[in-house]
């Protein structure tokens, strides 16, 4: 007699017993751990908590890092319910991370929220490693009733065929009531109408997918944007930098550039501040800062994004760092004793800057004691005298410190300038690797610091000795020998490019 036909629900249940949950990672093959097929709680789940506890610290750290990328808490929604975000693009390679162990950690994470009503946002697009049907089914079956009952909304953003198929199956076979809690969301702008978008940290792959559906992300009119770019510096920092040491985007960029990337130190990436990143991702990151979103630059694996964000922030300021009224003062700056052949290959920067632009009155990128407009000088005489013999004996440095900076009004502009120039100095010290010495950095940075009513005058003010032009100029190649000496400079012809190079 033929066996009775199984229903679809019975077939799915059988999968969890007869099929491994995921490709077995090297970790789960360790003889110290039980077999991955060891049943648990009647659903075929492996007893992974003991495996997790038995791991070496480095292996547990790897699991926890994957967990923090896949699932995050994003505050509360408009109805004050806790909001949990799951990002498909962050699922790790199942050959490296056991999905069974990851599932146990996800459930433990959700235990913090499921006692009360909660909302899940599932960012479905961009995943390179899609969990198996069996694993998803197992995840659903392993959650007790309170997980499903207290889940009030499941928002699926950029739904894929895979996610739609599974959800439709779950609704038809398992629980029509659960199916009614699901909302498909096509764009991030639409998501912003359901939950506070600015509280969600969005992965680069999700931004890339969203660009296929909309060019700009818009927030509901009731939510004022938290602008960063194009905002007066005084509003972000306070007139004298008392509100914030530096704007968040600048701090994030500088800290990321000083960190280690997949290919080594980010400061050593060739062409830093000269090369351009992916335009779409750059715009997505800029708009995320303007909306007030959480941004982790390390997710983008591109130091050029951080470098260009710094330049764009400076360029978009309503009032430039150096306005047209300062041009005559800049032009009168006497030449530095470091200008000439040495000046074109970077020594002025390395001599004038130690622990930040100390010899100009700044320390570690912040104004040392600069909180009021009455301060005309900062940094001690001892500090000035220790910078390679420069400072008091160099007319250019004295002029910048005694004339130019006071003319700028000290305050937040000088604080920001010192913070950024400290970074640029550290970039120039690695010019043998990144090919960005003081000369090349001056070419890239100067145009973002000036603006007047005369664009031609602005271009001339950004000129750097030894460069043919701002766009097709001569780029120094560190290690290629000394550059030709600059032609004699006329009195009163100093440019901002000269000063930035120093």
Per domain, the residue ranges of the chain are: 8-211, 233-316, 322-471+489-501
DSSP 407-444: HHTSHHHHHHHHHHHHHHHHHHTTHHHH---HHHHHHH
Q: Per-residue pLDDT tens for 56-82?
A: 788 888 888 888 889 998 888 888 888
Annotate 231-287 with three-state secondary structure: CCHHHHHCCCCCCCCCCHHHHHHHHHHCCEECCEEHHHCCCCCCCCCCHHHHHHHHH
- Residue from 214, 414, 424, 190 nearest 322 by CA: 414
In CATH terms, the superfamily for domain 233-316 is: Rho GTPase activation protein (1.10.555.10)
- Whether the CB-CB separation of 106 and 131 falls below 8 Å is answered with no
pLDDT category of residue 1 using cuts at 50, 70 and 90 = low
The sign of the CA dihedral 468, 444, 396, 482 is negative
DSSP 379-410: S-HHHHHTSTT-STT-HHHHHIIIIIHHHHTS
pLDDT in the model for residue 3: 58
Percent of residues, the chain, with pLDDT higher than 90: 30
| Average of per-residue pLDDT values in the chain | 75
pLDDT in the model for residue 19: 44
In CATH terms, the superfamily for domain 8-211 is: CRAL-TRIO lipid binding domain (3.40.525.10)
- C-alpha distances in Å from residue 152, one per residue of 139, 434, 501: 18, 52, 58
Look-up of token digits 């390179």: 128
pTM: 0.66
Q: Per-residue pLDDT tens for 133-176?
A: 777 777 777 777 788 788 888 899 998 777 777 666 665 655 67
223 conformational bin, left if phi > 0, alpha if psi -120 to 50, beta if neither: beta
Q: Per-residue pLDDT tens for 217-243?
A: 888 876 677 789 999 998 889 877 777
Q: Per-residue pLDDT tens for 20-58?
A: 444 434 433 333 333 333 334 444 444 666 677 777 788
Please give the residue that has the higher pLDDT: either 367 or 268.
268
Q: Per-residue pLDDT tens for 413-429?
A: 999 999 999 999 999 99
pLDDT in the model for residue 445: 94
Contacts of 305 (CB under 8 A, 6+ apart): 277, 278, 281, 282, 285, 297
């Amino acid at each position: 007699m033929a066996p009775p036909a199984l229903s679809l629900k019975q077939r799915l249940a059988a999968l969890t017993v007869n099929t491994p949950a995921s490709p077995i990672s090297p970790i789960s093959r360790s003889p110290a751990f039980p077999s991955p097929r060891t049943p648990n709680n009647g659903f075929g789940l492996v007893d992974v908590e003991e495996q997790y506890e038995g791991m070496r610290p480095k292996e547990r750290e790897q699991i926890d890092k994957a967990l923090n990328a896949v699932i995050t808490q994003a505050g509360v929604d408009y109805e004050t319910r806790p909001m949990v975000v799951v990002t498909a693009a962050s699922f790790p390679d199942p050959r490296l991370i056991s999905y069974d162990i990851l599932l146990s950690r996800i459930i433990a994470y959700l235990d913090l929220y499921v006692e009360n009503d909660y909302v899940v946002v599932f960012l479905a697009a961009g995943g390179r490693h899609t969990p198996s049907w069996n694993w998803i089914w197992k995840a659903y079956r392993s959650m007790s009733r309170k997980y499903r009952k207290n889940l009030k909304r499941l928002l699926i953003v950029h739904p894929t065929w895979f996610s739609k198929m599974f959800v439709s199956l779950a609704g038809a076979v398992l629980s029509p009531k659960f199916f009614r809690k699901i909302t498909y969301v096509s764009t991030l702008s639409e998501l912003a109408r359901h939950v506070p978008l600015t509280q969600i940290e969005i992965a680069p792959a999700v931004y890339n997918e969203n660009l296929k559906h909309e060019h700009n992300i818009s927030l509901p009119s009731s939510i004022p944007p938290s602008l960063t770019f194009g905002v007066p510096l005084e509003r972000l920092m306070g007139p004298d930098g008392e509100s914030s040491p530096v704007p968040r985007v600048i701090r994030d960029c500088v800290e990321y550039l000083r960190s280690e990337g997949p290919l080594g130190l980010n400061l050593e990436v060739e062409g830093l501040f000269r090369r351009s990143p992916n335009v779409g991702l750059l715009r997505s990151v800029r708009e995320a800062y303007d909306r007030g979103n959480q941004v982790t630059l390390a997710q983008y694996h591109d130091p050029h994004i951080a470098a260009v964000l710094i330049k764009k922030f400076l360029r978009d300021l309503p009032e430039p760092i150096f306005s047209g009224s300062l041009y005559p003062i800049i032009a009168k700056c006497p030449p530095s004793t470091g200008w000439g052949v040495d000046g074109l290959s970077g020594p002025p920067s390395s001599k004038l800057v130690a622990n930040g632009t100390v010899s100009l009155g700044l320390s570690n990128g912040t104004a040392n004691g600069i909180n009021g407009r009455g301060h005309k000088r900062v940094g001690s005489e001892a500090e000035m005298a220790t910078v390679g013999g420069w400072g008091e004996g160099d007319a250019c440095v004295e002029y910048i410190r005694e004339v130019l900076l006071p003319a700028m009004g000290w305050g937040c502009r000088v604080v920001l300038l010192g913070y950024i120039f400290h970074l640029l100095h550290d970039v120039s010290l690695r010019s043998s690797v990144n090919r960005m010495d003081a000369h090349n950095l001056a070419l890239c940075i100067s145009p973002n610091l000036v603006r007047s009513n005369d664009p031609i005058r602005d271009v001339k003010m950004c000129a750097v000795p030894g460069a043919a032009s701002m766009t097709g100029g001569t780029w120094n190649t560190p290690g290629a020998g000394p550059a030709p000496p600059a032609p004699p400079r006329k009195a009163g012809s100093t440019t901002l490019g000269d000063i930035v190079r120093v």
